Chains A and B, each alone.
Chain A
């Protein structure tokens, strides 16, 4: 395996109605890296993530995951190594019970039933949702749904975790629990989010997208303190890096 885990090169994509979404995106992810993908609404974050999971196919340019270029012929391999957590857990959780849903991916990988069971238990345990295993997904709270949808992907033991807005719609405590979990995952991660404080906590590196292009790519601490880059991309400093509202310091 090469030392790059994900390599995206001059990726371009336009939606069928002609709206351009990505206009030449290039970056590489290394093993074990944790990368925040930030940018204004419509900057192309979700579209980029869908390319990494092979759900959308590039109009131009290439995406490589591990040893495989993402093409129609390699989708099966690519999807074994990329685990994608969607923004709306209701899109992700489609089986009648939590455990069936977590088992869906491993079962599709053709694993023997005992191994599927072990993975289901392991993944639910990691996100602290083991007690929900027999519940139907539509009866869970928002935070529980999120935890379970992360478990559905962990159960496939992916090399790369791709997450779209993992902290949206979470209450403060659920959000804090999520941050702790994300920090504990040893996977390579790419997280698209507007929650810049989460990026500060979880990701050492940040990629800023703006208008379908990479506007900046570098260490999170420097980038998120750089007013000029943030302003150009329609972003603001994370709350924690802003001055104190009381004393202004």
Chain B
């Protein structure tokens, strides 16, 4: 039984990427969080048939991944792992809307098929951007950046503690499943009834641990707010990154870049 451990290891490995020193990891976390949010908002703002307009947006994550020297394989693996959710959402589009959208030679593409591809593209772009943020920024820095940008402190404290104890909880779950497996050699996975008991146990243990942690926090003067320590300087590189990224996002939202490119090319050809 190594699946829980393996999942935790995968989670930790993005953290290790973020600990490296690259142009992208050196950027101010607030700049990266703000640009990521703006990027996701712009991606989401396009309609269900505007597949072409999404295409140029891919440039931003590509450039950013290059700045951060982020390896492609772990990103693609994580995208693939999450893709069933997007597929579930998009699956019925091709069946519901069969009106033709465009024809290339003999092949006609229906509006539903375009919508299907649009959902997938939106999913890949937004999740990819999120993964890139995590792969270039330590999780606690993301939390603090969110706090500095005005996210409620309680939410930030929750996020940061959740991340910290995900590993402890995961270890605990893995130990329980291992203990179960050792005494049920013929049954690699707990039966439904046993699984219920195990889950209940896990919940009880988590509650007891939460109480102990809270006691430890109070003993050191916790008053409901996690102190913010790191002081970041917003440098010129950060300003350049934010303004360039925002200008690009605005342009791709306001102007039909592929259309303009097509018109220019057509004009030149004529």
With an 8 A cutoff between CB atoms, is B180 at the interface?
A: no
In the complex, chain A residues whose CB is within 8 Å of the CB of B154: none
B168 touches A156 (CB 8 A): no
In the complex, chain A residues whose CB is within 8 Å of the CB of B222: 104, 108
A76 touches B140 (CB 8 A): no
A79 touches B219 (CB 8 A): yes
Instruction: Number of A interface residues at 8 Å Cβ cutoff, please give it.
Output: 36
B168 touches A90 (CB 8 A): yes
With an 8 A cutoff between CB atoms, is B93 at the interface?
A: no
In the complex, chain A residues whose CB is within 8 Å of the CB of B165: 94
B219 touches A100 (CB 8 A): no
In the complex, chain B residues whose CB is within 8 Å of the CB of A238: none
A105 touches B220 (CB 8 A): yes
B139 touches A84 (CB 8 A): no
The proximity string for A residues 68-88 relative to B, scoring 1 for CB distances below 8 Å and 0 otherwise, is 000000011001101110101
What's the Cα separation between A106 and B46 when bound, in Å?
Answer: 49
| Max chain A Cβ within 10 angstroms of own Cβ: one of B139, B167, B223 | B167
The proximity string for B residues 197-212 relative to A, scoring 1 for CB distances below 8 Å and 0 otherwise, is 0000000000001001
Q: How far is the CB of A171 from chain B (nearest CB, A)?
A: 19
In the complex, chain B residues whose CB is within 8 Å of the CB of A118: none
What's the Cα separation between A90 and B171 when bound, in Å?
Answer: 12
Q: Which of A47-87 contact B (CB under 8 A)?
A: 50, 53-55, 75-76, 79-80, 82-84, 86
With an 8 A cutoff between CB atoms, is B69 at the interface?
A: no
A138 touches B164 (CB 8 A): yes
A138 touches B168 (CB 8 A): yes
A100 touches B229 (CB 8 A): yes
Selected from B139, B212, B223, the residue in CB contact (under 8 A) with A91 is B212
| Given A94-B164, A100-B229, A109 contacting B213 (CB threshold 8 A) | no
With an 8 A cutoff between CB atoms, is B138 at the interface?
A: yes
With an 8 A cutoff between CB atoms, is B238 at the interface?
A: no
With an 8 A cutoff between CB atoms, is B161 at the interface?
A: yes
Q: Which of A11-52 contact B (CB under 8 A)?
A: 50
The proximity string for B residues 80-124 relative to A, scoring 1 for CB distances below 8 Å and 0 otherwise, is 000000000000000000000000000000000000000000000
Q: Which of B155-204 contact A (CB under 8 A)?
A: 160-161, 163-165, 167-168
In the complex, chain B residues whose CB is within 8 Å of the CB of A116: 229
Main secondary structure of the interface of A (DSSP, over half): helix
With an 8 A cutoff between CB atoms, is A174 at the interface?
A: no
B220 touches A108 (CB 8 A): yes
Q: How far is the CB of A55 from chain B (nearest CB, A)?
A: 4
In the complex, chain B residues whose CB is within 8 Å of the CB of A88: 212
Selected from B160, B167, B212, B227, the residue in CB contact (under 8 A) with A86 is B212
A91 touches B229 (CB 8 A): no
B164 touches A96 (CB 8 A): yes
With an 8 A cutoff between CB atoms, is A150 at the interface?
A: no
With an 8 A cutoff between CB atoms, is A193 at the interface?
A: no
Selected from B161, B218, B229, the residue in CB contact (under 8 A) with A103 is B229
Q: How far is the CB of A100 from chain B (nearest CB, A)?
A: 6
Main secondary structure of the interface of B (DSSP, over half): helix
Selected from B139, B209, B213, B231, the residue in CB contact (under 8 A) with A96 is B139
In the complex, chain B residues whose CB is within 8 Å of the CB of A153: 220
| Max chain A Cβ within 10 angstroms of own Cβ: one of B15, B217, B220, B227 | B220
What's the Cα separation between A86 and B216 when bound, in Å?
Answer: 7
In the complex, chain A residues whose CB is within 8 Å of the CB of B149: none
Please, which residue of chain B has its CB at the minimum distance from the CB of A103?
B229
Selected from B12, B219, B223, the residue in CB contact (under 8 A) with A53 is B219
What's the Cα separation between A54 and B168 when bound, in Å?
Answer: 26
In the complex, chain B residues whose CB is within 8 Å of the CB of A86: 212, 215-216
What's the Cα separation between A139 and B11 when bound, in Å?
Answer: 13
A138 touches B229 (CB 8 A): no
| Given A94-B161, A96-B140, A82 contacting B168 (CB threshold 8 A) | no
What's the Cα separation between A94 and B223 when bound, in Å?
Answer: 15
| Given A113-B229, A136-B15, A94 contacting B139 (CB threshold 8 A) | no
The proximity string for B residues 132-148 relative to A, scoring 1 for CB distances below 8 Å and 0 otherwise, is 00000011100100000
| Given A96-B138, A96-B160, A116-B229, A108 contacting B216 (CB threshold 8 A) | no
With an 8 A cutoff between CB atoms, is A95 at the interface?
A: yes
Binding site for B on A (CB under 8 A): 50, 53-55, 75-76, 79-80, 82-84, 86, 88, 90-92, 94-97, 100, 103-105, 107-109, 113, 116, 136-139, 152-153, 156
User: What are the nearest 10 A-B pairs in CB distance?
Assistant: A108-B221, A96-B140, A107-B227, A105-B220, A91-B212, A138-B167, A55-B215, A84-B219, A53-B219, A92-B216
Task: Contacts A53-B219, A75-B218, A94-B165 known; list 9 others, CB within 8 Å.
Answer: A83-B219, A88-B212, A94-B216, A95-B164, A100-B229, A105-B220, A108-B220, A108-B227, A113-B231
